[in-house]
Amino acid sequence: MTWLATKHFLQRAWVWTKNYWYIPLLVVLALAALLVKRTDIATKLLKTRTESYKEQIGVLNESHTNEIAKRDEIIRVHKEVMGQLDEQLESDLQEVDRKKEKRIKELVEDNHDDPEELSRALGDAFGIKYVPRGGE
């Protein structure tokens, strides 16, 4: 019975479509227009997302460039400070060497007659332990 009911329905639909063909045509055109409009909306959405992505990438690249520049500046300043510290250290070491030489000359002039006393004085002045010879 359902086959007959289906056949009867399709015959009546065909007759209706032959008489009122413009209604299904309008429905199809409306659906096509809706799809085109949705495609336009999807295209706009895709374009907006692409532009947003490009802006985000631009911001990230700019941030990265700024970080690299800051890092390079810090490295440059570090090298400059280390160079100044090395120069200062060298200068201070030379000053210490001159003071040591001057002190040694003073001790030698004061104790040039007594080598053992000179050894003891040099040991006391520069933190060296003086050990006298046992046999002499």
Q: Is 44 contained in some domain? A: yes
What is the rounded CA–CA span in Å between residue 89 and residue 95?
10
| DSSP character at residue 131 | -
For the stretch 85-117, pLDDT in tens is 999 999 988 988 888 888 888 878 887 787 788
From the CB of residue 121, how many other CB atoms can be counted at a distance below 10 Å? Answer: 19
Q: Is 12 contained in some domain? A: no
For the stretch 32-70, pLDDT in tens is 888 777 777 778 888 999 999 999 999 999 999 999 999
Please tell me the total count of domains within the chain.
1
Q: Is 43 contained in some domain? A: yes
Q: Is 115 contained in some domain? A: no
Q: Is 33 contained in some domain? A: yes
Q: Is 103 contained in some domain? A: no
To which H or E segment does residue 48 belong? helix 22-110
Q: Is 57 contained in some domain? A: yes
> Residue for token digits 């639909």?
13
What is the rounded CA–CA span in Å between residue 56 and residue 26?
44
Q: Is 2 contained in some domain? A: no
What is the rounded CA–CA span in Å between residue 81 and residue 92?
16
